Amino acid sequence: MSPTVSSVLLPAALAVIMFGLGLSLTADDFRRVAVHPRAVLVALVCQALLLPAVCFGLVLAFGLPPSLAVGMMLLAASPGGPTANLYSHLFGGDVALNVTLTAINSLTAVFTLPLVANLSLAYFYADAGTLGLQFDKTVQVFAVVLVPAALGMLIRAARTAFADRMARPVKVLSVVTLAAVIAVAVVSAADGLAADIRAVGLVCLLFSVVSLTAGYWLPRLAGVAPRQAVASCMEIGIHNSTLAIAVAVSPALLGDPRMAIPAVVYGVLVFLVAAVAGFAVRRGTRPALALVPASGAAGRVPL
């Protein structure tokens, strides 16, 4: 892989995606925490604590080699992606809550992702001597994740009409860049790719199933309404694989294309698994949907 692709294009691709996310966010998306505090709290606990622990257990159980193990942990620490909003809409979830969860998870991931990466590297590369994401690299994660999103938010606040016009082109560009990132990761790790896919495929499948299941049922057990639980299901279950790929492949961060393989495999599997999960939980949202006025009070079903 050329230095230009790995050091410039990959961070730029991630920045485009995060900028597109920022264009869709407003301050109200963060204030909405006060409307659904229980749903937000449960989702954050799942994202920050439960899923990394589950992923770590799966990695140990299947005896993955260090590169793939760290790649899985990067995936577990990555926040939900914009695709979660689409799936939530398709299957009766509270999309407004999805936007709030994506915003908050993206913010907290700036700190939790380097922490999980460092702990994983220390464990799986015990003889490496140094950790992979020191302070300067953590700052770089901050720069490519939070700064573009914040810029997008500022543009929406100052030029709402312009942000609305740019929403579709930026989304299209985001899809193109996502495909390019995955292609780069696959090409970079071509040697032994088939064996790595076989090694990590079942782990990715199980992890996606556990993520989606926990994302729905833990909020329901905590008393969260069905529509908000569907939003949590998709947000917790559909991770931002692009972020994990970019962190793994970029030489300024980890620089190991093999660490990106779990995110590539997961990025393909999760679309099917999330669709199955969506059909499974959609029935539970129908009574709640009947209570929502046709005028569009979506996202206001009480907890």
**Confidence class of residue 301 from pLDDT cuts 50, 70 and 90?**
very low
> What's the average model confidence in pLDDT over 218-233?
92
Q: Is the pLDDT of residue 6 over 60?
A: no
The string of pLDDT tens digits covering residues 78-110 is 887 677 877 888 888 888 788 788 778 877 877
Report the pLDDT averaged over residues 216-238. 92
| Residue percentage of the chain with pLDDT more than 90 | 23
pLDDT digits (tens, 9 = 90+) for 266-291: 988 888 899 999 998 876 555 444 33
Given a cut of 70, is residue 57 above it in pLDDT?
A: yes
- Mean pLDDT, the chain, rounded, equals 77
pLDDT of residue 221: 94
**How far is residue 270's CA from residue 238's CA, in Å, rounded to a whole number?**
7
**pLDDT surpasses 60 at 187:** yes
pLDDT for 129 beyond 60:
no
Whether the predicted pLDDT of 213 surpasses 80: yes
Higher pLDDT, 43 or 150: 43
pLDDT band at 218 (very low <50, low <70, confident <90, very high): very high
User: Contact, 250 vs 7, CB < 8 A?
Assistant: yes
Is the pLDDT at 51 greater than 60? The verdict is yes
pLDDT at 185 over 90: no
Q: Write down all domains in the chain, each with its CATH number in brackets.
A: 3-287 (1.20.1530.20)
